[in-house]
Amino acid sequence: MQCQLELIDITKSYKGKLALDHFSYRFEPGIYGLLGPNGAGKSTLMNIITQNLKSDEGRILLNGVDAQKLKQDYIAHIGYMPQQQSLYENLTLLRFMYYIAALKGMKKKEAREQIEGLLRDVGLWEERSRYMGGFSGGMKQRALVAQALLGDPDIIILDEPTAGLDPIQRRGIRGMIGELAQDRIVIISTHVMADIEAIAKETLMLRKGKLLNKLSPEAERLEGESLEDMYIRLFG
């Protein structure tokens, strides 16, 4: 079945300050870019989709069924790379990957089969026995991308996956994301237009917790305006 994720009227405040304001959108398989200035609500939205954060109002439906009702079955569909680099500094990369696989309920054999491929894809297989505490920012970032793909989730949420990467690593990660099968929903937040320009089927612009605009690459071409020009027109 084609996967469909519907957000309905998602609203979230922190201490009375609105971070998401009745955000609604229906995601279907494909790659989505999420753009917006610092504080626009991108990470908040992603944390609500992954259920790390509870919204004040609104509902999430996965294939028409309320996520609240699905509980663990909902979480099992999601791979998430958080914006904040996580704190498993005292684990080797390999242990970290097995740990995440266990959290996702994967069998050891299945985990073993996937981990090598994923770590090779992000160029970290040779580093698998090193403690993550000794990794550079870019290496941690790539490890976090790899763990998000464990278990072959059909919804993948990547919060600034290329932040802090050098241009070569960035292109590598971008290529990986672009190759994720088109039958999944992939949502990527970024401040780097090039990350999504070539691969996103739709770009959502968020400002002050509201969906300001959405555009497809075709619309962009028709209007003859680059994503960056549009961003600056909307937010500058």
Residues in touch with ligand ATP (CB under 6 A) = 14, 19, 36, 38-44, 83
Tokens of 145: 């991308």
Which amino acid does the sequence have at 133? G
Rounded least distance, CB 167 to ligand ATP, Å:
21
19 binds, among Mg ion, ligand ATP, none (CB under 5 to 8 A by kind): ligand ATP
The residue among 11, 8, 32 whose CA lies nearest residue 155 is 32
Give CA–CA dist 26/48, Å, rounded. Answer: 15
39 binds, among Mg ion, ligand ATP, none (CB under 5 to 8 A by kind): ligand ATP
Report the residue number, 91 or 194, with the smaller CB distance to ligand ATP: 194
Give CA–CA dist 83/92, Å, rounded. Answer: 21
Binding mask 28-57 for Mg ion (x = CB under 5 A): --------------xx--------------
Report the residue number, 19 or 150, with the smaller CB distance to ligand ATP: 19
Residues 61-120 that bind Mg ion (CB under 5 A): 83
Rounded least distance, CB 128 to ligand ATP, Å:
30
Rounded least distance, CB 235 to ligand ATP, Å:
11
Tally Cβ neighbours within 10 Å of residue 142: 26
> Residues 68, 73, 78, 82: is their CA dihedral positive or negative?
positive
Rounded least distance, CB 191 to ligand ATP, Å:
7
Tokens of 139: 């290496």
147 binds, among ligand ATP, Mg ion, none (CB under 5 to 8 A by kind): none
Report the residue number, 80 or 98, with the smaller CB distance to ligand ATP: 80
Give CA–CA dist 215/200, Å, rounded. Answer: 10
Give CA–CA dist 191/195, Å, rounded. Answer: 8
Report the residue number, 14 or 222, with the smaller CB distance to ligand ATP: 14
Report the residue number, 43 or 55, with the smaller CB distance to ligand ATP: 43
153 binds, among Mg ion, ligand ATP, none (CB under 5 to 8 A by kind): none
- DSSP conformational letter for 147: H
CA diameter of the chain: 51
The residue among 178, 149, 185 whose CA lies nearest residue 49 is 185
Report the residue number, 42 or 170, with the smaller CB distance to Mg ion: 42
Rounded least distance, CB 112 to ligand ATP, Å:
34
Look-up: residue for tokens 């009745």? 22
Rounded least distance, CB 190 to Mg ion, Å:
10
Strand 5-14 versus strand 185-189 pairing type: unpaired
In degrees rounded to 5, what are phi and psi of residue 73? -65, -30
Q: Which residues bind Mg ion (CB under 5 A)?
A: 42-43, 83
